Amino acid sequence: MRKISTKKLVVTAMFFAIGLVLPFVTGQVPQIGRMLLPMHLPVFLCSLIVGWPYGLAIGFLLPLVRSPLFGMPAFFPTAVEMAFELAAYGFFAGFIYKKLLDAKVNKTVSLLAALISSMVLGRIVFLVVRIVIFKLSGSAFDFNVFLADAVLNAIPGIIMQIVLIPTIMISMERNRINTEPTNKN
């Protein structure tokens, strides 16, 4: 059995706590929260800094824990859909970033490639989960509504993530804080 690093658990717990609290910044206006995507930031950062298993775990658990604790997001279907979406972000961002770094690709290029590709792949997972939930509930699925909800309304948050996450990672590196996930847990 592999030992899990105490440092990684502490950093993961910190990002989980940030993910629980950060939505309060936009909580008074749910439309702004849906535009700025506050729970996405700690999932991406955790995955990129600590590694994909941790990013996947907090991505899946964060909306499912936040929903009963604070009543937002609504548990079904929103928190369930978000659990799969955020888990996908956590997995793909960390996995792709690590693979690119291992292949000796430039850190900034690796970071942006991992971030953008995981955003696309996470939204595809979100689409699949939403279709399944709609089919199981007997509701009609409207792709245009999904596109507006998951992509068009989220453009401010996507832009913020593409600017803020690399800025945080570069700042951490400049301050000699290790931002490379390791193979060790």
How many residues belong to the chain? 185
The residue behind tokens 């690709």 is 105
Burial of 143 (0-12, 13-18, 19+ CB in 10 A): exposed
157-185 tens-digit pLDDT = 999 999 999 999 999 988 888 777 765 55
For the chain, list the domains and their CATH numbers: 6-174 (1.10.1760.20)
**How far is Cα 16 from Cα 109, in angstroms, rounded to an integer?**
26
* pTM assigned to the model: 0.94
Report whether 177 contacts 7 (CB < 8 A).
no
Which pLDDT score is estimated for 33?
80
Nearest CA to 96 out of 77, 113, 78 is that of 113
Report whether 49 contacts 165 (CB < 8 A).
no
Q: What is the DSSP letter of 29?
A: -
Residue 96: what residue type? I
44-92 tens-digit pLDDT = 999 999 999 999 999 999 999 999 999 999 999 999 999 999 999 999 9
Q: Which residues, at least 6 apart from 101, have a Cβ–Cβ distance to it below 8 Å?
A: 107, 110, 180, 181
